[in-house]
Structure 1
Amino acid sequence: MHVVFVRGATGSTVATVHRADGVSLQLPGYDRKHKVPHDLAHYATERALEMSGGVFGAIAGGGVFSNMRVVGGKPRHDAAARSKRLLDAHRDTLTMAELLAGVVHRAVEDGSADKTPAMVRDAWRSLGTGPFPWTDDHVEDAVRLLTELTVEWQARGTVRVTWPEHLTAPLPASGGIRRGRRGRT
């Protein structure tokens, strides 16, 4: 999946997502007050931490958030139902992605990258269960990637990235109505 981040007419970020199924969507940002676009922080954090159930993995898997709009291609006939099922199934990971991307975003925005691994572990403990699933190197990679993308963003006002296919959120099996003939007794 290809994603192009551009500065919108109002100064906010707009990410245009070109999915493998041929559908293109726009994801508006609401971040005029930040030098680092928040959705770019999601991209860097989720990619470095390999979070397939985060924002970009969910979009790659067919998820469409309420603030998005289709700008190209033809969605499947059941796209809305599939999106709902996928987003519902990955709700916890989406919440965690929001929390962790916020920490990484703030670290790059404020220049406090040295404290980020501890801050991410603290954030994880507020929602996560079990042992912390990443190393300090993973967290530092997220900060490094976001820092590099921020330099490009500030220089060009545009960033083009690719979301890896292996980080596409899986669509859970449907629990819908079974149709067809029933056996008679």
Structure 2
Amino acid sequence: MLITFARALSGSTLATIRRGDGVVLELPGYDRKFRVPHDLAHAVTERELGMTGGVFGSIAGGGVFDNMRVVSGHPRHDAAERSKRLLAANKVSLGIAELLAGVVHDAVEHEEKSTLERARRSWGMFSTDPFPWTDQQIEATVAVLAELAVEYQATGKVVFTWPDRLTSQVPALSGAKRGRRGRI
């Protein structure tokens, strides 16, 4: 999946997403007051930390959020139902992604120094399991976003590749019957 983050006429960010199935979507940002686009922080955080159930893994898997629109391509006949199922299944992961992307975003936007502590605290809101990422992974994620923020500031655009391995899988229909009907 290829994502282009570009400065919109409104001063905010517009992400144009080219999915593997040929569908092209737009995701508007609501971040005019920030130097660093929040959705770019999501993409970087989710990719660098290997999160399949965040915003962009969900979109890659067929999820479409309410504020998105299809620009071109032909969605599947059951796209809306699959999207609903996928986003419901990823609800907790999306929450974790939101918190961690916020931590990484703040680290770059405001040059916050308490990134590691905030990341662990945010994780603790969702799980009692040990924090699954190393200090080096969090620091590297912040460094990648800082680098891309410089590019965005200079050009007003960042082209970002989302790896196929981080595509969220659509859960199977519950109670669906599989196979052929018996012959009479």
Q: Normalised by the shorter chain, which TM-score bucket?
A: over 0.9
Q: 1:117-143, CA deviations, whole angstroms, 9 ceiling, x for partnerless residues?
A: 111001111122311111011111110
Deviations 1:94-121 (A, max 9, x none): 0110011011111111112x42111100
The equivalent of 2:53 in structure 1 is 53
Report the CA distance between 1:170 and its aligned residue. 1.1
TM-score normalised to structure 1 length: 0.94
Tell me which residue corresponds to 2:7.
7
Q: 2:173 corresponds to which letter in structure 1?
A: S
SS in 1 for 2:160: strand
Partner of 2:145: 146
Question: What is the distance in 1 between the residues matched to 2:175 and 2:5?
Answer: 37
CA shift, 1:172, in A, is: 1.0
Q: Find the counterpart in structure 2 of residue 119 from structure 1.
A: 118
User: Helix, strand or coil: the match of 1:160?
Assistant: strand
Q: Tell me the residue number matched to 2:158.
A: 159
Q: Deviations over 1:62-82 (max 9, x none)?
A: 000000000010000000001
Corresponding residue number in structure 1 for 2:109: 109
Distance 1:139 1:159 in 2: 21
- CA-CA distance at 1:161 after TM superposition: 0.7
Unaligned runs of 5+ in 1: none
Tell me the TM-score normalised to structure 2 length.
0.95
- In structure 2, stretches of 5+ residues that fail to align are none
RMSD of the TM alignment (CA)?
A: 1.5
Q: Percent identity?
A: 58
Aligned partner of 2:173 in structure 1 is 174
**3-state SS of 2:117 partner:** helix
| Local SS of the residue matching 2:6 | strand
Matches of 2:58 and 2:137, distance apart in 1: 21
- 1:19 equivalent in structure 2: 19
Alpha-carbon separation, structure 2, partners of 1:45 and 1:177 = 35
